[in-house]
Amino acid sequence: MKGQLLSANHAAALAATLAARANRTGRGFCSGVYPITPSTECMEFLCAQQIEKGRVVRVESEHSAMGVCIGAAAAGARSFTATASNGLAYMAENCVAAAGLRLPVVMAVANRTMGPPWNIWADHGDALMLRDLGLIQIYCADNQELFDTVLSAFRLAEDQRVLMPAMVCMEGFILSHTVAQTEIPSQEQVDRFLPLTSVPQQLGSTPHSLGQIELPAQTETHRMQHHQAMLAAETVFEEVRGHFADIFGRELQGALVPYRTEDADTLIVSLGTMGLTAQRVVDRARERGEKVGSLRIRMLRPLPVAAIAREFAGKSRIAILDRDISLGFGGVLWGELARLAQAPVVQNYLAGIGGGDVRPEHLERVLADLKGRRQSGTPVNVEAI
Amino acid sequence: MHPLGNSDSTNGVVLPQGTDLPLEIRVHGRGGQGGVTCAKLIAALYARMGLAVQTFGDYGSERSGAPVQAFTRVDRLAITNRNKVYRPDHLLVLDAGLLETPVLAGVAPGALILLNTSGAPADFGARYRGYRLATVDATDIAREQGIGSSSVVIVNTTIVGAYARILGLPLQLLEEVYASFGVPGDLAAARLAHERVRIQEASADGASPENAAPQAPGQAVVAPLTAPAQDFPIELRTGLWSNQSPSYCRYTPPCNAACPAGNDIVGFVQALKEQGPEAAAAILLRTQALPSVCGRVCPAPCMNHCNREAFDGAVNIRSLERWIADNSQVVLPKLAALRPRRVAVVGGGPAGLSAAYQLALRGHGVTIYEAAPALGGVLRYGIPAFRLPLDVLDRDLSRILDLGVKARCGERLGPAELSRLAAEYDSVIVCTGFGAPHQLAVPGEELAGVEQGLPFLDRVKAGSESVSGHVVVVGGGNSAIDCARSALRLGAASVRLVYRRSRQDMPAIDEEIAEAEQEGVRLMTRRQPVRCLGSGRVAALVLAEVEQGAPDASGRCRPVVTERTTELPCDRVLLALGQQDGLEPLLPARWKVDAGRAWSEGQALSVFFAGDCATGEGTVTHAIGNGHRAALRALAALEGEEAEELEGDREAGATQRVVAPAQIRFSHFEPDPPGRDRHLPLNQARAGFQEFNQGLAGPAEAERCFSCGQCTSCDTCLVYCPDGIIYRAQDGYRIDLDHCKGCGMCVAECPRSAMEMKDKALPGGSR
Amino acid sequence: MRNEPLLGGMAQSAVDRETPLLRPGNTNCGGCGMSNLLQMMRRAVADRPVQLVIPACCAAISAGAFPQAGLGAPTVLTTFASAAAVATGAAAVARLNGEETRVICLAGDGGSYDIGFATMSAAAERNEDILYICYDNEIYGNTGGQRSSATPAGAVTTSTPGGKVEQKKDIMAIMAAHRIPYAASLSLAHADDTLRKLRHALDLRGFRFLHVLSPCPTGWKSEPALGMELVRLAVRSGLYPVLEVFDGRRHQINIEPEFSDEALEMYLSLQRRFQNTGLKASDLRPAIERHWLNLRVLSGRIVPARRETR
């Protein structure tokens, strides 16, 4: 295995650095950063880089970190930040603003449980909280994938058909702090991969205001335009994958990662690293002769509805894992996906909430539970079965 | 749903006859007028009748003054409609200015419209005939009751009073509702509106259908937010937000109002500042026949009224006039008269000269008849050379004579000659000045050495007078001061000036008094000579002390002569006690003088009187103004017209238009002490009759003029206009009224009161 | 008149900015002090390229409704607390690209004293190349008039119906304590003072802070026409010190007040926000005197600098 030994946080920062440098002949790069566990390493790494025509501003809050990114992007520069958990919650208002202003800011989120009570470990609830606000969301499962996705997120977000901010997620510690070999392309390759950032609405010298008040009919139209831009991101992402393969000679993981799903009658559906665990469990089950597959959802926004529905078609039992809970409802992923399935049993399993380690045994239990069900039930915690 | 109300509701208030439910009400107002509260008050009225109501404002990002809407619905059943009101049964328009916006959209014929306007329903014409139209001047009432600020008057509580009246709702109901809203104080305004609202029933010929269509929500094409920056200038007529707008105006400066000659003082001072003495003289000479003279000897009431006095000292206007006269060569062009007249002027003093000058300027033929050997009257014979050198007088005289004025000097006229002139000329203007001087009327007045001041001054000017010993001058006017200072120059051992009132009461020019004192004249005020002592020649004057009595009509204290006396030894007594009216000996029998004109047997003659012989005002400047007016009167009488007024007279008549110190924004100006006149050194001054006052060193004093009430294009309005909608224009400034919000800051900031707010003309009658 | 025409006649002349920053047809209230400020900014900006960064506040409404531009310069409207952060990004990118663009934050007192305080403080601490202008109308005007930490004690607001109890923050002292290159309070009623400080602040690099007492007829319940007069009274009475602080060290008092109670009483009586709390000049005078004593010490001058014109 070739590549540099890097934590996922560092990989994200390195991807951002290469992207930043790639815009040196454009309007440059500017980023606002603020530390929070488990994302801190990412900003630390970024702060240690020399970036030609770039500036990393060490601000006083996540809110301002995104504020700087908004200002930079509004001025036409490439922009990036990283945060987690309560930091993301604190940043949320400006995440909305970045989306509302159609600014292609890229951010890396090390998913962490929201507190208090304080908990620094992994939970997807922080990013899912921003699900509806106009940020592209892609969840990653390993270091290489994270690096590749962060790098690609710039191309995706900055595509003129998209122009929406993008969030690339990694589970806190589980991925953010895991060190593994990561293949890093040359700057020259990155330069070819990423066109210069272009924000058409950027501030120039023309009297023109970004973000001014709108009437209901205008906002309605704009919301629909933003929705179309988000939907376009699904197609554009496929194009980006093509460019990625052409330039780097590797494959960028797609919006969905199906694993042995074609002939499966049972599916385990998940976000992030749990998807890799699920693949291991699928292999074991296959050894037992069970027709089990795994579907890892990478892209939650835009949600590749048709592709997911195709994957779900003909399956009889679907387990949807959630490392999060929408209180008073259940798993968010389940809420998103259940309607796309025709299967008689679509069961929600809450796994690893608050950062608990989700082991193959948990998923084995999930499969056993699933097998015993004749119909879907209310969400259950994997520790309780 | 259970019905909530009916016609016999529990609190006894019934829904007025003819009110159909559900009822929809729309209120149009401006931000700050209380439109939303108005709708709430109306809702509360109906709620009190036991009906279901709903009320809400149409909130936007509106600002004070911007159009806003509010709605109220009334029904018997609970209301589930959560939409805005598109087809109102009742429409309240809180500001008539809003009628320029589509407030009538969706209002069907027969609907009730209540307008806040000073106009009557009939003023609104055919377009409104199909409606039941009511009007009330709620702004006037609310302003009178002090509700809101003067530019944003809150009219909601007032107009609801009118609304209640239209619906026949009792005032008791309003009282309850206003109490519950915490605005019981506004009831008085509501009552007035209740009284004053005017109602016109709908007529069958209907409203024009264009009003009836509700406004369709716009289906505009919306550019994406990612569109490249493009400038779309804002399009909003914020000028509709206010019913007031600023404008430039000319208020009368107090100096102009105070000038007896009608000089446009601010005009010539500003012209001096901006364009120099020639331009200033061109303005000054329009009203001033004798600028070189007045620039020296005028008592300058303008300076007493100067608004700068209350700040850092009056502008030295007199000396600016002198500067202009001494430093310009301008001659006004002589106009061609439509019907040239021949006018005789009797008397070549200031009034006569002024009359002759004004007539000659207008192209008429003038002949001056003067008893003395030369023109000038008191100017030539009564004012010493150290105040008014003869060459200065001659300069002004030659300007007058150059206009073609003929002078016949040495001709003293009597009644017969006057009659002859009246027949011979188109018009005669008599300006013979005062008559004989007043006597002292005390024992010993006949003693040698006691004599009148005016002949003394005449002899001094002729160089045929000498003085020695101790001199006492009696009087407090300019002649008294002139006598005293002349005596000093001619070698008097001492000069005392005796005056019966206080120094402040002396009619002489203040500076002259001060200068006299500096030169060594000693004032003895509150003294009245009661006897002259001496054998054959005066040796002493007995002076009684004078106490202050009650103020007389002039505001000065009436002098009360006491028994306490002192003796003042002296060698000579000069009397300068003023002069008597001098007209009597001149008038032919049967002539009567009334209002400055001669009458014979009920017939007005074309003979006019001006100057001291007519008015006794006693100053050169009054005489100049008076002569000017008489000339205009004479001309007008010949034409059978009303005399044109001097500009100053016209504006001074309207006293409220004279700028008061409180109307000057002192903070705009930097303190800058008045420019003082230069004077000869004292020893040199006392040694002879060289002009003592050397005037100003330059025209910089003109910079100090506030230019009260007259725009100087100082840019203050432009700089402080919050909306930047005042622009430079060819002649001053232009206000973009399409965008003026009527805040009035330009008017408030104008340093010199040259702007004012005016009510706009509104639909249905101006406010 | 030696001071006429005002500003030497530069307004709408060749040295003025050709087009306004606040355009006619904007929706600001009549007599809004922030409008006055924008007119003066136009004159100071002249031909310098500028970008405006405006948080949620009345000035954001001045920008007009989409897509029309009420402001005559490129502008980004930010969330309430973010002006200085967004301006940081915009200014950084301008600097990276060698552009002369002057990035100006235009924020109210709420966005500066309160919710945007940390952001502003941090940008000042980093000495970002931003001109931060706080137009202080002493109220949350955009939301209809609630108290902020800039609201003076004794003022009635919709959230302090009985009158605010707490004192106004001393924002100038706070900003001076950041040791930024330039902090100044300016008087809108003294156009020359305003223009000079705006120009100076525009030309400097680093974080510059301008505090502008900005009359709000709507919130202050005062006559729109009297806005400038109210500022003048605040200056004359000593209530609003007009000073400059260079590098957080050198203090310079620019306009010497008269400290007249008459001016103070007039200031209070012309605003209905003070009328129900019975606030008197004598209530304010001790605090004003203490404050000025401190300013005198800081400015190193016990003797008044220059008498303000009457």
| pLDDT digits 0-9 by tens, B338-385 | 899 999 999 999 999 999 999 999 999 999 999 999 999 999 999 999
Angstrom distance (rounded) from CA C268 to CA C39: 26
Beta carbons of B473 and B497 less than 8 angstroms apart:
yes
The correct CATH number of B23-200 out of 2.30.30.30, 3.30.420.10, 3.40.920.10, 3.20.20.70 is 3.40.920.10
Sign for the CA dihedral angle at A69, A72, A74, A79 comes to negative
pLDDT at C278 over 90: no
Do the domains at B238-250+711-759 and B342-435+582-645 have one common CATH topology?
no
Are C90 and A63 inside 8 Å of each other by CB?
A: no
A210 with C75: Cβ contact below 8 A: yes
Report residue B170's pLDDT band, with 50, 70 and 90 as the boundaries: confident
Share of chain B above pLDDT 90, in %: 68
3-class SS of residue B499? strand
Residue B594, CA atoms < 13 Å, CB-side half-sphere: 10
pLDDT for the residue numbered B646: 66
pLDDT band at B96 (very low <50, low <70, confident <90, very high): confident
* Whether the predicted pLDDT of B611 surpasses 70: yes
The least confident of B96-100, B302-306, B716-720 is B96-100
B316 pLDDT band (50/70/90 cuts)?
A: very high
Partner-chain contact B226 A204, CB within 8 Å: no
- Is B756 an interface residue toward C (CB < 8 Å)? no
Domain range summary for chain B, segments of one domain joined by +: 23-200, 238-250+711-759, 342-435+582-645, 452-574
* pLDDT tens figures, C125-159: 999 999 999 999 999 998 989 999 999 999 999 99
- Coil, helix or strand at residue B257: helix
Please say if the pLDDT value at position C35 is more than 60: yes
User: How many C-beta neighbours within 10 Å does residue B10 have?
Assistant: 8
Using an 8 Å Cβ cutoff, are A211 and A73 in contact?
no
Amino acid at A337: L
| Rounded Cα gap, residues B213 and B93, in angstroms | 18
Chain A residue whose CA is closest to B229: A201
Q: Which residues numbered 113-172 in A keep a CB inside 8 Å of some CB on C?
A: none
Average pLDDT over residues B532-545: 94
Amino acid B12: pLDDT: 61
Q: Give how far Cα B65 sits from Cα of A12, B98, B153, B604, B740, Å.
A: 53, 11, 10, 61, 11
* Angle, alpha carbons B657-B663-B666 (nearest 5°): 145
Q: What is the mean pLDDT of residues A214-234?
A: 95
- Tally the domains of chain C: 1
CB C82 within 8 A of CB C115: no
Q: Please tell me which of the candidates C24, C224, C310 has its beta carbon nearest to residue B724.
A: C24
Write out chain A residues lying below 8 Å of C86, CB-based.
67-68, 70-71, 74
Nearest CA in chain C to A219: C66
Instruction: Tell me which of 3.40.50.920, 3.90.1300.10, 3.90.228.20, 3.30.420.40 is the CATH number of domain A256-384.
Output: 3.40.50.920
Nearest to C90 among A75, A209, A212 (CB): A75
Q: Measured between alpha carbons, how far is B538 from B302 in angstroms, rounded to an integer?
A: 42
Give the model confidence (pLDDT) of C191-208 as tens digits: 999 999 999 999 999 999
Cβ distance A67 to C82 less than 8 Å, yes or no, reads yes
* Averaged pLDDT, B305-326: 96
- Tell me whether the CATH fold assigned to A2-248 matches the one assigned to A256-384: yes
| Residue A263 pLDDT grade (very low, low, confident, very high; cuts 50, 70, 90) | very high
Q: What is the mean pLDDT of residues B198-222?
A: 67
Q: What band does B9 get if pLDDT is binned at 50, 70 and 90?
A: very low
Q: With contacts defined as CB-CB under 8 Å, which chain A residues touch C62?
A: none
- Residue B658 near residue B683 (C-beta atoms within 8 A): no
CA distance B534 to B187: 85
Average pLDDT over residues B124-148: 88
Across the interface, whether the CB atoms of C81 and A63 are under 8 A apart is answered: yes
- Distance between A200 CA and the closest CA of chain B, angstroms: 5
Q: Compute the average pLDDT of residues C236-261.
A: 95
Stretch A297-325: mean pLDDT, rounded? 97
Nearest to B632 by CA among B621, B619, B643: B643
Cβ neighbours of residue B760 under 8 Å, at least 6 residues apart? B97, B242, B243, B244, B245, B766, B767
Interchain contact, A222 vs B225, CB within 8 Å? yes
Q: Is B446 exposed, middle or buried (0-12, 13-18, 19+ CB in 10 A)?
A: exposed
Cβ contacts of C64 on chain B, cutoff 8 Å: 234, 236
Give kind and range of the element (H or E) at residue A152. helix A143-158
Return the pLDDT at B30. 86
* Least CB–CB distance from C20: residue in B66, B151, B724: B724
Q: Identify the band that residue A182 occupies on the pLDDT scale cut at 50, 70 and 90.
A: very high
pLDDT of residue A228: 97
- C262 pLDDT exceeds 80? yes
Secondary structure of residue A325 in the 3-state scheme: coil
B346 phi, psi to nearest 5 deg: -100, 110
A200/B226 CB distance under 8 A: yes
CB proximity under 8 Å: A 88-107 to B: 100-102
CATH architecture of structural domain B452-574 = 3-Layer(bba) Sandwich (3.50)
Q: What mean pLDDT is predicted for residues A326-340?
A: 97
Check residue B17 and give its pLDDT.
74
How far apart CA B155 and CA B145 sit, in angstroms, is 10
DSSP H or E stretch at residue B745 = helix B745-749
Token pair listed for C227: 């806005």
What are the angstrom distances between the C-alpha of B699 and each of B163, B310, B708, B711?
65, 22, 19, 20
Ranking A42-46, B294-298, B759-763, C239-243 by mean pLDDT, the lowest is B759-763
Residue B302: phi, psi to the nearest 5?
Answer: -55, -40
Closest Cα in chain A, distance from residue B225 (Å): 7
Task: Provide the CB-side half-sphere exposure for A29 (13 A, CA).
Answer: 28
Is the pLDDT score of B212 beyond 80? no
Residue C305 has pLDDT above 60, yes or no: no
* Both structure tokens of B676: 């003082």
- Band of pLDDT at residue B211, cut at 50, 70 and 90: low
Domain spans of chain A, in order of start: 2-248, 256-384
Testing the interface with C: which of A21, A68, A79 to mutate, by most C Cβ within 10 A?
Answer: A68
Give contacts of C111 with chain A, Cβ < 8 Å: none
Backbone phi, psi, residue A360, to 5°: -55, -35
Q: What is the per-residue burial (b if ≥16 Cβ within 10 Å, else e) of A351-385?
A: bbbbbbebeeebbebbbebbeeeeebeebbebeee
Of B36, B712, B743, which to mutate for an interface test with C (greatest number of C Cβ within 10 Å)? Answer: B743
| Residue matched to tokens 């409180």 | B662
**Cβ–Cβ contact B700 with C under 8 A:** no
Report domain A2-248's class.
alpha beta
* Residue whose structure tokens are 């024009």: B208
The complex's ipTM?
0.96
Task: Give A73 to chain C, closest Cα distance, Å.
Answer: 8
Could C310 and B667 be called an inter-chain contact, meaning their C-beta atoms sit closer than 8 Å?
A: yes
Which pLDDT tens digit goes with each residue over C65-83? Answer: 999 999 999 999 999 999 9
Cis omega (within 30 of 0) for bond into A117: yes
DSSP string, A52-120: TTEEEEE-SSHHHHHHHHHHHHHTT-B-EEEE-HHHHHHHHHHHHHHHHTT---EEEEEE----SSP--
Average pLDDT of chain C, as a whole number: 94
Nearest CA to CA, how far is C279 from chain A (Å)? Answer: 38
A206 contacts B229? CB cut-off 8 A? yes
Nearest to B359 by CA among B425, B405, B394: B405
Chain A neighbors of C97, CB-CB under 8 A: 27-28, 53
Residues B578-596 pLDDT 10s: 888 778 788 888 899 988 8
Task: State in words which class domain B342-435+582-645 has.
Answer: alpha beta
Per the model's pLDDT, the better-predicted residue between B493 and B643 turns out to be B493
Provide the pLDDT for residue B767. 44
User: Is residue B85 within 8 Å of residue B73, measured between CB atoms?
Assistant: yes
Task: Say yes or no for a CB contact (<8 Å) between A58 and C86.
Answer: no
Kindly report the backbone phi and psi dihedral angles of residue A88, in degrees, each rounded to the nearest multiple of 5, phi listed first. -70, -40
Per DSSP, B473 falls in state E
Annotate C158-175 with b (16+ C-beta within 10 A) or e (fewer): eebeebbeeebbebbbbb
Q: Give dist(CA B384, CA B461) in Å, integer.
A: 6
- The distance of C27 to chain A (nearest Cα, Å) reads 12
Question: What is the helix (H) or strand (E) element at residue B540, kind and residue range?
Answer: strand B537-551
What DSSP designation does B307 have?
Answer: G
Average pLDDT over residues B474-482: 94
Interface test with chain B among C228, C236, C258, by most B beta carbons within 10 Å: C228
Token pair of B372 as six digits: 């003395």
Question: Which residue of C64, C89, C95 is in closest CB contact with A69?
Answer: C89
What secondary structure, in 3-state letters, does B211-232 show?
A: HCCCCCCCCCCCCCCCCCCCCC
Can you tell me the mean pLDDT for A142-158?
Answer: 98
pLDDT at A318: 98
Q: Which of A70, A208, A227 to mutate to test the interface with B (most CBs of B within 10 A)?
A: A208
Residue C306 lies in a domain: no
Q: What is the mean pLDDT of residues A102-110?
A: 98
C257 occurs within a structural domain: yes
**Counting Cβ atoms within 10 Å, is residue C29 exposed (0-12), middle (13-18) or buried (19+)?**
buried
Name which of B167, B212, B225, B164 is nearest B189 in CA terms.
B164
pLDDT, residue B126, reads 80
Q: Residue written as tokens 């223009």?
A: C195
pLDDT, tens digit (0-9, with 9 covering 90-100), for B42-70: 999 999 989 999 999 987 766 777 888 99
CATH number for the domain spanning C210: value is 3.40.50.970
Query: What's residue B558's pLDDT?
Result: 84
Which chain A residue has its CA at the smallest distance from B219's CA? A217
Beta bridge partners of B278: none
Taking CB atoms and an 8 Å cutoff, what residues of chain A touch C79?
A: 63, 67, 93-94, 97
Six-digit token string for A292:
């089990």
Q: Which pairs with CB-CB distance under 8 Å and at least 24 residues apart come from C258-264? A: C258/C308, C258/C310, C259/C288, C259/C289, C259/C292, C260/C236, C261/C237, C261/C285, C263/C233, C263/C236, C263/C237, C264/C233, C264/C237, C264/C238, C264/C239, C264/C288
Q: Would the pLDDT of B5 be above 70?
A: no
What average pLDDT does the segment B503-512 reach? 90
Q: Which residue of A has its CA nearest to B233?
A: A207
Show the 3-state SS of chain C. CCCCCHHHHCCCCCCCCCCCCECCCCCCCCCCHHHHHHHHHHHHHCCCCEEEEECCCHHHHHCCECCCECECCCEEECCCCCHHHHHHHHHHHHHHCCCCCEEEEEEEHHHHHHCCHHHHHHHHHCCCCEEEEEEECCCECCCCCECCCCCCCCCCECCECCCCCCCCCCHHHHHHCCCCCEEEEECCCCHHHHHHHHHHHHHCCCCEEEEEECCCHHHHCCCHHHHHHHHHHHHHHCCCCEEEEECCCEEEEEEECCCCHHHHHHHHHCCHHHCCCCCCHHHHHHHHHHHHHHHHHHHCCCCCCCECCC
Q: pLDDT digit string (tens) for B681-693?
A: 988 888 889 999 9
